[in-house]
């Protein structure tokens, strides 16, 4: 039987988070003796399939009707592949791509799902999955009944899988266009271009909170410090709501979850919903003018002061 | 046009969640509860659609749970919902059983649109809407931060994704799940809350709906998450950079 890892890609390469999902898939397969296959969906997938096959045998669902990741079609294909392969589990990295599509696929398969899994163990032949609840204030241990089990994992919680010695086989999945749903029409994607590393993959993340009142100010302080550290820039919900930063930069319960080596929180109070997205960072620095700010209680290093004064000093010190 | 808005009862986001010593759940004796914030946003959007499109829009708030859920349904009525319907259910929920139950409600109520929160802030699952759309074979638009009618039965929805703001067009009937930036929910005024106390809440059993929602996710235990870091206060930028370089060795 098969453990199916669904890999998100950028049209050329598999996104790195998928390799964390693959690590989990391989580990589960090691215990159960199942095969691991990667599933890629899209249009014009030659380069993606080649990239993916370095890591595992690949099932390639390549069709113009799959050019954009619309949940209705992708979920249908994933469910069909899972049935054909008699999949015991379907695993993907926990991104909005998987959060949109996999629950729908689970429903088509009459399957249970656990999202944002950060750890697991096997007890009494059952897979015990650990996942955060209550904005990360609690960790739940759950089991899923029935098959397949649909699981999304947090990439930050698992190492990336390495390539195979020999590339895996590539299997073409025949997409029957006449059976594909036509529920939504893709219009486009709007994002704020940035040359900085992707938030969830960066070694260093510098995030800003409410004290930054304009996009320029955010750029001048948070952006510049991020650049000085070769890091990504993130923010709190306060700045996204105010239109100062785009939503894809939000860290937290309802934004992205990051766990970099270093997280620098500039003028962030430390609400639980924000902590949910960053508290597993290895080293946390808090800079805040309020010595009582809750952010300090989870920080490794704390510096009390005005971010407008401290950030330029930090940039100067880093240049020394 | 009929809009259904599922409203889940969750511990208030101002509450500190404590786990029972035996790990079987949270200490719920003295907790304050609220409508799941994302569901409140969904309700607000439904009310705004009614305000824009006129009185032929009917907004029904749905609760799935025991009689305690009526307090959130009354808040929904006070905010402006036309009707409130509670599916009497005393078991434990998982997204699967919620989706099954909602699918049965949809078959009975025949709405044009189900507007619901993208996740509930208790289990943070982010699945029920997508599962419901899958069960019904309806279009779905998740994580909505803008909803516009382009035709009477066709909507443009802006979705908040990790890659940016994605726009899709969907036809009704459909399921839409809401993100935080869609709107700012109105408050239920005190007089409206008083009035809502006297309004009827329709109650229906799972049996009458023809479903027996069996959860597929079993909670083995809950653990409290504590962070053990002791914050070392540094005097200035120079000391901080020194520590990061030579003590923590992260830069
Ligand atoms: C359902 C729900 C989901 C949510 N999801 C998220 C989420 O995913 N991510 C998220 O971030 N939030 C989320 N929130 C919001 C969260 O509760 C907080 O409101 C938010 O994180 C606060 O952002 P902030 O720290 O920037 O602002 P504030 O709480 O206002 O804090 C600003 C901080 O800056 C400090 N400060 C002010 N001026 C200066 C200065 N000159 N120099 C130094 N320090 C200064 C202040 O002392 C204060 O500590 C959510 C809320 C809800 C209800």
Question: What residue of A is the nearest CA neighbor of B236?
Answer: A303
A283 lies in a domain? yes
Ligand 1 pocket, mutate which of A253, A258, A296 (most atoms under 8 A from CB): A253
If asked whether residues A173 and A204 sit together in one domain, one would say no
A34 and A88 belong to one structural domain: yes
Characterize the bridge pairing of strands A87-93 and A149-153: parallel
Q: Classify the phi-psi angles of A160: left when phi > 0, otherwise alpha if psi is within -120 to 50, otherwise beta.
A: beta
Mean pLDDT across chain B: 96
Does residue A18 sit in the same domain as residue A163?
A: yes
- Closest approach atom of ligand 1 to CA A255: 8
Same domain for A131 and A10: yes
Closest residue on chain A to B25 (Cα): A140
Q: What is the DSSP string of B76-95?
A: HHHHT-SEEEEEE--S---H
CA-proximal residue: ligand 1, atom 22 (nearest): A238
Q: What tens digit of pLDDT does each residue of A227-252 get?
A: 999 999 999 999 999 999 999 999 99
| Chain A residues with beta carbon closer than 8 angstroms to that of B240 | 285, 301, 303, 314, 317
What is the rounded CA–CA span in Å between residue A253 and residue A237? 10
Q: Pick from A18, A146, A17, A130: which is nearest to A87 by CA? A: A146
Q: Which tens digit of pLDDT belongs to each residue from B171-219?
A: 999 999 999 999 999 999 999 999 999 999 999 999 999 999 889 999 9
Task: Specify the pairing of strand A126-133 against strand A138-144.
Answer: antiparallel
Chain B positions in Cβ-Cβ contact with residue A302 (cut-off 8 Å): 231-234
Chain A: give the shortest CA distance to residue B204, in Å: 24
Instruction: Report the top-level CATH class of B2-223.
Output: alpha beta
Same domain, A173 and A79: yes
Is the peptide bond between A2 and the residue preceding it cis, with omega within 30 degrees of 0? no
The confidence band for A69, taking pLDDT boundaries of 50, 70 and 90, is: very high
Residue A15 forms part of a structural domain: yes
- What is the distance between the alpha carbons of residues B65 and B146, in angstroms, rounded to a whole number? 30
What are A41's strand-pairing partners? A61
Residue of B nearest to A278 (CA): B227
Asked, for residue A143, whether it belongs to a domain, the answer is yes
Average pLDDT over residues B142-151: 97
Query: What does each C-alpha distance from B76 to A18, B135, B197, B213 come to in angstroms?
Result: 41, 26, 11, 24
- Residue B57 CA to ligand 1 center (angstroms) comes to 37
Residue of chain B with shortest Cα separation from A296: B231
CATH number, domain of A51, equals: 3.40.50.620
Residue given tokens 């909505």 in the structure block: B144
What CATH number should be reported for the domain holding residue A294?
3.40.50.1220
Compare CB distances from A284 to B130, B217, B229 and report the shortest one's residue: B229
Interface residue of B123, B129, B133, B134 to substitute, partner A, most A CBs within 10 Å: B134
Answer whether residue A187 is part of any domain.
Answer: no
Q: Are residues A128 and A243 both part of a single domain?
A: no
| Distance in angstroms (rounded) separating the CA atoms of residues A267 and A162 | 38
Task: Look at residue A108 and tell me if it is in a domain.
Answer: yes
**pLDDT-based confidence at B41, cuts 50/70/90?**
very high
| Beta partners for residue B11, in sequence order | B33
Parallel, antiparallel, or unpaired for β B202-205 and B232-233? unpaired
Q: Is B236 in Cβ contact with A107 (below 8 Å)?
A: no
> Alpha-carbon distance B95 to B75, whole Å?
23
Residues B4, B62: Cα–Cα separation, whole Å: 7
Say whether both A203 and A257 belong to one domain. yes
Say whether both A313 and A203 belong to one domain.
yes
Residue A184 lies in a domain: no
- A123: which strand partners? A126
- How many structural domains is chain A composed of? 2
The partner residue sitting opposite B170, judged by closest CB among A96, A133, A183, is A183
Q: For residue A20, name the pLDDT band (cuts at 50, 70, 90).
A: very high
A244, A175: one domain = no
Q: Find tokens 């520590």 and name the residue.
A: B243
pLDDT at A33: 92
Judgement on whether residues A103 and A135 belong to the same structural domain of the protein: yes
- B216 closest CB neighbour out of A112, A140, A279: A112
ipTM exceeding 0.90? yes
Q: Is A204–B250 a contact, with Cβ atoms under 8 angstroms apart?
A: yes
Q: Which residues of B touch A261 (CB under 8 A)?
A: 250
Same domain, A232 and A299: yes
- Number of A/B CB contacts below 8 angstroms equals 261
Check residue B55 and give its pLDDT.
78
Binning pLDDT at 50, 70 and 90, where does residue A258 land? very high
Helix/strand/coil for B241:
helix
CA-to-CA distance for B216 and B227, rounded, in angstroms?
31
Q: Mind listing the pLDDT tens digit for each residue in A155-208?
A: 999 999 999 999 999 999 999 999 999 999 999 999 888 899 999 999 999 999
**A221 and A172 in a common domain:** no
For testing contact with chain B, the best of A69, A96, A108, A150 (most B CBs within 10 A):
A96
Residues of B in contact with A241 (CB under 8 A): 180-181
Buried b (16+ CB within 10 A) or exposed e, B143-166: bbbbbeeeeeeebbbbbbbbbbbb
CA A58 to chain centre: 21
Question: In the structure encoding, which two tokens stand for residue B99, read together?
Answer: 């989706």
Q: Is A207 in the pocket of ligand 1 (CB under 6 A)?
A: no
Please give the helix or strand (H or E) that residue B74 lies within, else none.
helix B70-79
- B165 CB neighbours in chain A (<8 A) are 189-191, 246-247
Residue A186 lies in a domain: no
- Residues 6+ away with beta carbon under 8 Å from A80: none
Q: Determine the distance separating the centroid of ligand 1 and the alpha carbon of A236, expressed in angstroms.
A: 6
A246 and B26 within 8 Å at the Cβ level: the answer is no
Q: List, as one string, the DSSP characters of chain A.
A: -EEEEE--B-SSSB-THHHHHHHHHHHHHHHH--EEEEEEEESS-HHHHHHHHTTS-EEEEE-GGGSS--HHHHHHHHHHHHHHHTEEEEEEE-SHHHHHHHHHHHHHTT-EEEEEE-EEEEETTEEEEEEEEGGGTEEEEEEE-SSSEEEEE-GGGSPPPPPPSSPPPEEE----GGGS---EEEEEEE-----SPPGGG-SEEEEE-TT--SHHHHIIIIIHHHHHTT-EEEE-HHHHHTTSS-GGGBBSTTSB----SEEEEES----HHHHTTTTT-SEEEEEES-TT-GGGGG-SEEEES-HHHHHHHHHHHHH-
Q: How many CA atoms lie less than 13 Å away from B63 in the CB half-sphere?
A: 30
- The residue-averaged pLDDT of B74-98 equals 95
Domain range spanning residue A242?
199-318
Cα distance from N-terminal residue to C-terminal residue, chain A = 57
Which of B122, B127, B248 is the closest to A134 by Cβ? B122
Token couple for A88: 């015991």
What value does the mean pLDDT take over residues A50-70?
A: 98
Sheet containing A58-62: order of strands: A112-117, A149-153, A87-93, A2-6, A35-42, A58-62, A170-172
């Amino acid at each position: 039987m098969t453990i199916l890892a669904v890999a998100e890609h950028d049209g050329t390469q598999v996104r790195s988070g998928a390799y964390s999902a693959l690590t989990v898939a391989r580990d589960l397969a090691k215990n159960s003796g199942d095969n691991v296959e990667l599933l890629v969906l899209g249009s014009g997938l030659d380069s993606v399939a080649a990239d993916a096959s370095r890591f595992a045998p690949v099932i390639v669902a390549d069709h113009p009707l799959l050019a954009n990741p619309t949940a209705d079609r992708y979920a249908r294909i994933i469910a069909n592949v899972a049935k054909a392969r008699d999949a015991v589990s379907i695993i993907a990295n926990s991104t909005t791509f998987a959060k949109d599509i996999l629950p729908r696929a689970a429903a088509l398969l009459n399957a249970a799902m656990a999202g944002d899994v950060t750890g697991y163990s096997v007890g009494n032949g059952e897979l015990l999955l650990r996942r955060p609840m209550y904005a990360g204030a609690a960790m739940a241990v759950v089991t899923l009944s029935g098959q397949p089990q649909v699981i999304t994992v947090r990439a930050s919680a698992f190492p990336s899988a390495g390539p195979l010695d020999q590339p895996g086989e590539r299997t073409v999945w025949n997409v029957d266009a006449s059976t594909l749903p036509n529920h939504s029409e893709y219009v486009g994607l709007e994002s704020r271009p940035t040359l900085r590393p992707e938030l969830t993959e960066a070694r260093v993340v510098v995030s800003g909170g409410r004290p930054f009142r304009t996009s320029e100010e955010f750029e001048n302080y948070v952006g510049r410090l991020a650049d000085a550290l070769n890091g990504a820039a993130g923010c709190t919900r306060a700045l996204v709501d105010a239109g100062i930063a785009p939503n894809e930069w939000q860290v937290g319960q309802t934004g992205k979850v990051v766990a970099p080596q270093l997280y620098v929180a500039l003028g962030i109070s430390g609400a639980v919903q924000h902590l949910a997205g960053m508290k597993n960072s290895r080293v946390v620095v808090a800079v805040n003018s309020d010595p009582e700010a809750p952010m300090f209680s989870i920080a490794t290093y704390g510096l009390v002061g005005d971010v407008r004064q401290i950030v330029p000093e930090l940039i100067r010190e880093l240049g020394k | 046009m009929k809009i259904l808005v599922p409203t889940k009862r969750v511990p208030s986001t101002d509450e500190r969640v404590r786990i029972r010593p035996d790990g079987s759940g949270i200490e719920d004796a003295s907790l304050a509860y609220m409508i799941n914030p994302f569901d409140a946003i969904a309700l607000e959007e439904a009310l705004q659609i009614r305000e824009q499109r006129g009185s032929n829009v009917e907004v029904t708030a749905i609760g799935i749970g025991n009689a305690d859920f009526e307090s959130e349904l009354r808040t929904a009525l006070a905010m402006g919902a036309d009707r409130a319907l509670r599916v009497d259910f005393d078991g434990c929920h998982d997204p699967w059983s919620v989706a099954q139950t909602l699918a049965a409600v949809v078959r009975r109520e025949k709405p044009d649109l189900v507007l619901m929160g993208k996740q509930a802030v208790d289990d943070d699952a982010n699945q029920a809407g997508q599962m419901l759309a899958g069960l019904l074979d309806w279009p779905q638009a998740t994580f909505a931060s803008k909803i516009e009618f382009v035709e009477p039965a066709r909507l443009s929805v802006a979705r908040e994704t990790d890659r940016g703001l994605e726009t899709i067009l969907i036809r009704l009937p459909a399921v839409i799940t809401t993100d935080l930036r869609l709107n700012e929910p109105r408050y239920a005024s005190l007089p409206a809350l008083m009035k809502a106390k006297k309004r009827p809440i329709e109650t229906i059993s799972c049996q009458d709906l023809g479903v027996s929602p069996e959860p597929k996710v079993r909670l083995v235990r809950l653990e409290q998450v504590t962070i053990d870091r002791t914050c070392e206060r540094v005097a200035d930028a120079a000391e901080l950079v020194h520590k990061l370089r030579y003590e923590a060795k992260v830069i």
